[in-house]
Amino acid sequence: MRPTPAFGTGDPSAHTAVPTVTLHNGVVMPALGLGVFQSAPEETTAAVETALQLGYRLVDTAAAYGNEREVGEGIRRSGLDRSEVFIETKVWVSDYGYEETLHAFDKAAGKLGVEQLDLLMAQAPDVAVVPAVNQIELHPYFTQPDVQAANAELDILTQAWSPIGGITFYPGWGDQRVSVMDDSVLRDLARSHDRTPAQIMLRWHLQRGRSAIPKSTNPKRIAQNLAVVDFALADDELARIDALDRGVRNGPDPDIPRHRLFERVIPEA
């Protein structure tokens, strides 16, 4: 990884207020980005292009998502210079190992159409080297305070996937879940600030020092998810959201091996 230059040379009002975070190795990255997990390939290019034109400068993808090629095309269509976009992707489990990981980098870079990746993560990792970023399920109903504390102690940035609780209502991940979007506390705060519940959650993440990568292919929601830098939550409001934690995971448990899934072979570039 290397530090990226200033994020963007277009209309500065669109994106300069988006906060950045500095990783323990000195790399500077935007705190808010676009996630593309379960974005269909045919929708991914347009979503990435739209996001970057609106002012996003971070895109999160993964080899296992099957849409790295479309992410790269969206970046090219945006008209931005490569140095203006922070790209993060992930090595799948079947590509673990020294030589295998080097080859996984080549596969990812080839699909994305770039020579450099700003952040390369190991999916479902078990590592001896302290990472710069730990991406975990994190939303108001599942805040993982112990993991966050461990990350902070080791100077690891906590990055939230499912930051607005999408996993709590997305079909196919289990039963007896309640959508965080419908929570009365979040709706009350949204009314108070004339915002959406999603915007309240994203602002909560940023003020708590985390990175968040909300996923959407809807242009209106992509824009709304970025419009969270011009208001602030009070300390008591942050505490009200913190108190919503139920300690119940909604997505897959990383401590449970899924050998058949882990054996999936990632195609060549």
Active-site residues, by number, are: 65
3-state secondary structure at position 29: strand
Collect all residues with Cβ–Cβ distance below 8 Å to 221 and sequence separation of at least 6: 198
How many Å apart are CA 108 and CA 115, to the nearest integer? 10
Q: Are strands 133-137 and 157-161 parallel, antiparallel or unpaired?
A: parallel
- Contact (CB, 8 A) for 121 and 96: no
Altogether, the residues listed in the chain come to a count of 269
How many Å apart are CA 5 and CA 86, to the nearest integer? 10
Residue with tokens 């305070």: 145
Q: Please give the structure tokens belonging to residue 28.
A: 């500077």
How many Å apart are CA 34 and CA 42, to the nearest integer? 16
Helix (H) or strand (E) holding 70: helix 68-78
H helix intervals, 90-131: 98-112
**Which residues are registered as beta bridge partners of 121?**
90
Neighbours of 121 (CB within 10 A): 18
